[in-house]
Structure 1
Amino acid sequence: MIQSLRVGERKILLNVVREVVKTHRIFFLIDGLDEIDGETDEAAELALDLARLLNVKVCTSSRPWPVFEDAFCQKPNLTMQKLTQSDIKSYVEDGLGQSNGFLRLQKQHRDYASGLIDQVAQKSAGVFLWVALVVKSLQRGLREDDRMVDLQQRIDELPNDLETLFTRIIDSLDNKKLHRARQYFGLLALHQHQYPDQDLTALALSFADEERLSFFISMPLGHLSDDEVDIRVGTMARRVESASRGLLEVVKSSSQRKSKVDYLHRTVVEYFKSDTLKDLPASKASIQKLPSDGFQKYLSRILLFAAQADEKLPEEDVRHAQIAEVLYQADLVGEELARFSATIPGKYTTAFSKILEATFESGH
């Protein structure tokens, strides 16, 4: 609202509030003053003008920018990082405490291990998402038995703000990790575009992650056992975290079949919608686009529903549902084939035909 109000409109707003508070009390809760492009001074002034009115209370939040610290320094305030410091420290202790490497570090260098926790908590400035990503980075280093100087370098080199941190994470991916990350980010983006109301389950992604074309052709249609589901979901959770460096995660559900793949936080989604990626090399700026051989993954979508079929359906109904889904997926694949035909290896289009044949044969 504040962002769209011009000077004259703000005066009208204040006049309206003055009339309303003659008979009512008003509480304004304004979140994210720092997110108002180019009008931070005006936003702070409006918040102060509202707070000066009778029967009006204002609570606002922002990053600790100088413009806001100057404007509100005489007002009651609360610094979130001071409030959450102990919680963040506990989170870091718990997260690193799960690592055998950190337990070894505590035995060998107790003071440094304790100082490491304090450093992360202090540098976080109260941002839990930043802490979560940094803890994951340290866990990777501890698994690889990084030296103390290497662990310290991990902390020192990580930017404090999230956007720069996301860019650093993507830019740090080597070719192997980048290729896998593009497959996961690309499939998630493709799935959310085609099925905006459906989650991409980790179980579904586990099938799309199969590399062997023969697997899709010989795969038996039907239900998976709970043990098979647990193994596939657990494997995908580790692969997704490793490839995306924590920007994607598997969100566990009470039913492993419903555990889903999603972005770590909405700020990651907003980051991908911004123009920040354009400053990275082309291969990394296009991380949400499937690599050319990633189309094999898309073709495998015609079998993913086999793992997601309703457990309560009798087997014959499952087969009918599978065939119906194949027809629907085939139509989608046909559209993609027309768009990508110049870059798709012939073996994949041939495999697609074989998959269709195998599916229909199993349905009779």
Structure 2
Amino acid sequence: MKPIPAVGLSSSIIQIVDFAVRILSKDHKIYQPTDGEAVENHTVLQDIAKNLFRLSLNIDQNDLKRLSSDPKRPKLSEAAEHLLKFSDETKILTATLIDAVLQAQARGSFSDPKWQTGRDALLTVWKKKEITGLKKKLKNVRKEVDIALMIALRAYLDQSAETGLPVFSADDNSQIHHWEKWQNEAMDSIHTNDWKPKNKKHVEEFSKKVDALITVENEAHFCHEVFAKLHFAVMDDRANSIPVAHEGTFEWMFESPPSYESGQQQASAFLDWLGDKSGQNLFWITGKPGSGKSVLMKHMFRNSRLFPSLEAWSGASPGINAAFFFWNSGIDLQVSSAGLLRSLLYESLQDMIYGPLEQDPGIIQWLFADRWNQFTSYGGGMHDFAFPDLRRGFELMISDVTKKFFFLIDGLDELGGYPEAVVDLLLSATKRDNVKICTSSRPMPGFQNAFEKRPSLMLDLMMSEDVRTYVSHVVHTQEQLVKICSYETDDSLKHNLISDIVEKSSGVFLWATLSTDFLVQGASESDDVVSLQASVWALPSDLDPLLTYIFEDLGTDKVDLQQASQLFRLVDAHGYPDLLALSFANDPHTNSSISAELRPLRPTELTKRLEDMLSILKVQCKNFLTVFEGSAGANEPDEEAVSSVADPRRLKINYSHRSIKDFVQSRPVLEKIRQATGGDAFNSDEYWANASLWALKTLRPQQKAQKQVFPVWEDLAWCMEYALRLEEKDNKVRVTYLDEVGRAGIGERHDTIAAMDLPRGYATETFLDIALWLNLTGYVRIKAKTAERKDIKHAMEYNRAVRKMLGTGGEDRWIGERRRLKAAHMNTSPELFLLLEYYAKLVRFATPKAHMEMPEYV
């Protein structure tokens, strides 16, 4: 039995009423954190306003509220009509309170003493009787809502009895929404106690039940917000980009013990270490660059063959397993200690709460008690996590000795900044008997000093047979090599070819993959096994010289070199794009998107684009760049697989290995790449601006609540960012381009934009709304002369409403790391608003026009 709409609307109204009453009360203290600096008055008032905005918007999103606006709706019950009336009254009262909070914020100074209560702050703009009056009105609303909800539930209860429908859900599944659970409990209480809405005592008892609903709702929201703050969109991309271990490799890792010596010390058997209870709780995997450390770490993560050893260590205690893969080719969070802890906390808490343990979500409130107290006090605690905050939460989590924690942390050498803090964190954590950590890195001095006396493994010393397995597979399955080898009657030549590659690799798996790819691409029909052997002997034995050898071979064809160099520069400029976007950016005509149709690509068009790009990456780029499926975890899609991908924008592209990235970005290679692409004449922003508009125009709709909607924001924002970057370089506003961006992003899709894809709280009518809010000053100046008066007025109202709702810093969610968009948003222009006010007037006679120079535009 689903919850009736009245429950959800009542919850939204009561949440905002109860929160507002607390803010207005003289005995409700503003909570200050116990282990950090006091929160400034300005921030407290901003958080109060944001929470009031959020709760007010929840009213509008309620099913009953939406149903009331449907002209074809059935007649609503009297209780439902009353709740709708109270919701409107609540919104009016809330708007009044928000205005007062923002006024108090504007009047305050950072030198003011810290407010003890929200009421103290409001007394700077209101009189006591105004505060008392608003508080009284809100309490009256609360009483009336309790009664109306009780009537609605009583009617539903009576109706169920008449129709013979089951009143209570027999399913005790923990995943049932808490509204439904609460509704069942409330109706059970009404039925058992025969509560009547006209009985004051009954209403008071029922009100206590309602309080329980609100408490659970607040806890659920806090839990959701903490998970959202811990999570980041590309959290799994590094793990997904690592190739899956080749079949038959790393088998020795699951044997006990390995039979080799590393220097003077025999390496510990990994499985033995995993099950050991002696307190040696950190295992270090190291080795040469390209030896396969990351592939091994991915292969071990949640590998069922480790479970018996883990269970021997954990005993009866439940085990929590999480991993993090540092990636210097990714964004800041993928190379930072904060990203590490956010990932480990997120994965571990997901396991605890939503996994087999089904632990009480209250663990979130325990780990982040200061944030929870700030949230219940004034709607705070929703700020971004900093490393000290994350470390406290992490250490508190692993202090629970009733659980055992096993963490895999790959690529410590790819950590940005100073690794000492993370090393200290790992060593400190593994002093606990209930924590084991397996970590990997190159054998750099800092890590050698920290880990050399702990169980360890030098990977390249173990990889010879794994390299042989891989090379043998290629020789026996790659069509061109099979054909060449078939001409030989002496199998020893083929075995010698395999052995030569294995020997020259010296246990570096990356060397083996690059060299075999190079041999395959360079093989011709006139080749035989002996000539292939000669090609192998000609290859440099070390990885960096091999990369130079392959790159110099690429340079023998100017067209191939120019194409590869262009892709290297485009990837470097972007980070790691999706494959489809890179195909758009690779278009030599950087204005092609302006005339492109506004429609999703047809399946044949999409498949051809992706297959062409895969071919270019393989042949022209010599596999220096690789493709992986970002969120699904599939690796290295081929031409036959791309058409089956549900969302082609999940296909991401980046350097195949850190060593390759370091090589391409080295000074001498980078200079050759620049020369091949015309040096400074090559403007990557032009290519990515074109690609962003292509991506916006070819968006595929998503199905949401029986309606197809377009998630336009990301592409829309990137279009504006690149337009501003281009304007920054030549002082010319991209009006033609931005007009087309507005048409594709807002104009033609106005009624089909995803609800959460633009700031909520004020309807977006035209692209001018977005341009003014983000302060695209040059564009707005030019468009103000020809825009309709109503559109200018709406844009000004939209800007005021959205900036007021988001507050200082609230725009970060929308702008992200787009540097030019961020700078533009902060650089407000009073003259621009005077100009807009002039053009918004119905009659302009005798009204002075603000003077602003019109910029150049294209």
- The TM-score range, normalised by the shorter chain, is 0.5 to 0.7
What letter is aligned with 1:154? S
Task: Determine the structure 2 residue equivalent to 1:29.
Answer: 283
Classify 1:284/1:325 alpha carbon distance in 2 versus 1 (closer, same or farther; 3 Å).
closer
Measured against aligned partners, the alpha-carbon deviations of 1:62-117 in whole angstroms (never above 9, x if no partner) come to 76xxxxxxxxxxxxxxx3134xx1x4333223334454322321221253444323
- The worse-fitting range, judged by mean Cα deviation, of 259-268 and 200-209 is 259-268
1:73-222 alignment runs, 5 A limit: 79-82=461-464, 85=465, 87-111=466-490, 112-142=493-523, 144-145=524-525, 147-148=527-528, 151-174=532-555, 175-192=558-575, 199-213=576-590, 215-222=592-599
Over the residues paired in the alignment, what is the CA RMSD in angstroms? Answer: 4.0
How many angstroms apart in 2 are the aligned matches of 1:285 and 1:328? 25
Shift of 1:133: 0.7
How many angstroms apart in 2 are the aligned matches of 1:307 and 1:266? 34
User: Is residue 333 of structure 1 aligned with residue 723 of structure 2?
Assistant: yes
User: Is residue 260 of structure 1 aligned with residue 260 of structure 2?
Assistant: no
Shift of 1:310: 5.2
Return the index of the structure with the highest Cα Rg: 2
Aligned pair count reads: 294
Task: Determine the structure 1 residue equivalent to 2:455.
Answer: 58
Shift of 1:31: 3.8
What letter is aligned with 1:29? F
Q: Which has the higher contact order (CA 8 A, sep 6+)?
A: 1
Aligned pair partner of 2:681 in 270, 278, 292:
292
Which residues of structure 1 form unaligned runs of 5+? 1-22, 51-56, 64-78, 193-198, 343-348
How many angstroms apart in 2 are the aligned matches of 1:164 and 1:311? 48
Aligned pair partner of 1:312 in 677, 683, 702:
702
Classify 1:256/1:89 alpha carbon distance in 2 versus 1 (closer, same or farther; 3 Å).
farther
Shift of 1:181: 1.6
Whether contact under 8 Å (1:224, 1:307) holds in the other structure is no
How many angstroms apart in 2 are the aligned matches of 1:97 and 1:332? 48
Shift of 1:137: 0.5
Shift of 1:33: 7.4
Whether contact under 8 Å (1:202, 1:261) holds in the other structure is yes
- The worse-fitting range, judged by mean Cα deviation, of 94-103 and 155-164 is 94-103
Task: Determine the structure 1 residue equivalent to 2:612.
Answer: 235
Measured against aligned partners, the alpha-carbon deviations of 1:271-293 in whole angstroms (never above 9, x if no partner) come to 456xxx23458324888998634
Q: Given the two structures, how large is their TM-score scaled by the length of structure 2?
A: 0.30
What letter is aligned with 1:187? L
Of Structure 1 and Structure 2, the greater helix share is in 1
Classify 1:27/1:217 alpha carbon distance in 2 versus 1 (closer, same or farther; 3 Å).
closer
Measured against aligned partners, the alpha-carbon deviations of 1:8-41 in whole angstroms (never above 9, x if no partner) come to xxxxxxxxxxxxxxx964255344377556799x
How many angstroms apart in 1 are the aligned matches of 2:720 and 2:682? 18
Measured against aligned partners, the alpha-carbon deviations of 1:41-77 in whole angstroms (never above 9, x if no partner) come to x969x94xx4xxxxxx6324276xxxxxxxxxxxxxx
Q: Given the two structures, how large is their TM-score scaled by the length of structure 1?
A: 0.65
- The worse-fitting range, judged by mean Cα deviation, of 148-157 and 132-141 is 148-157
Q: Aligned to 1:26, what secondary structure does the other structure show?
A: coil
Classify 1:110/1:206 alpha carbon distance in 2 versus 1 (closer, same or farther; 3 Å).
farther
How many angstroms apart in 1 are the aligned matches of 2:500 and 2:456? 31
How many angstroms apart in 1 are the aligned matches of 2:701 and 2:443? 48
How many angstroms apart in 2 are the aligned matches of 1:101 and 1:239? 19
Task: Determine the structure 2 residue equivalent to 1:7.
Answer: none
How many angstroms apart in 2 are the aligned matches of 1:338 and 1:136? 43
Classify 1:118/1:311 alpha carbon distance in 2 versus 1 (closer, same or farther; 3 Å).
farther
- The worse-fitting range, judged by mean Cα deviation, of 250-259 and 228-237 is 250-259
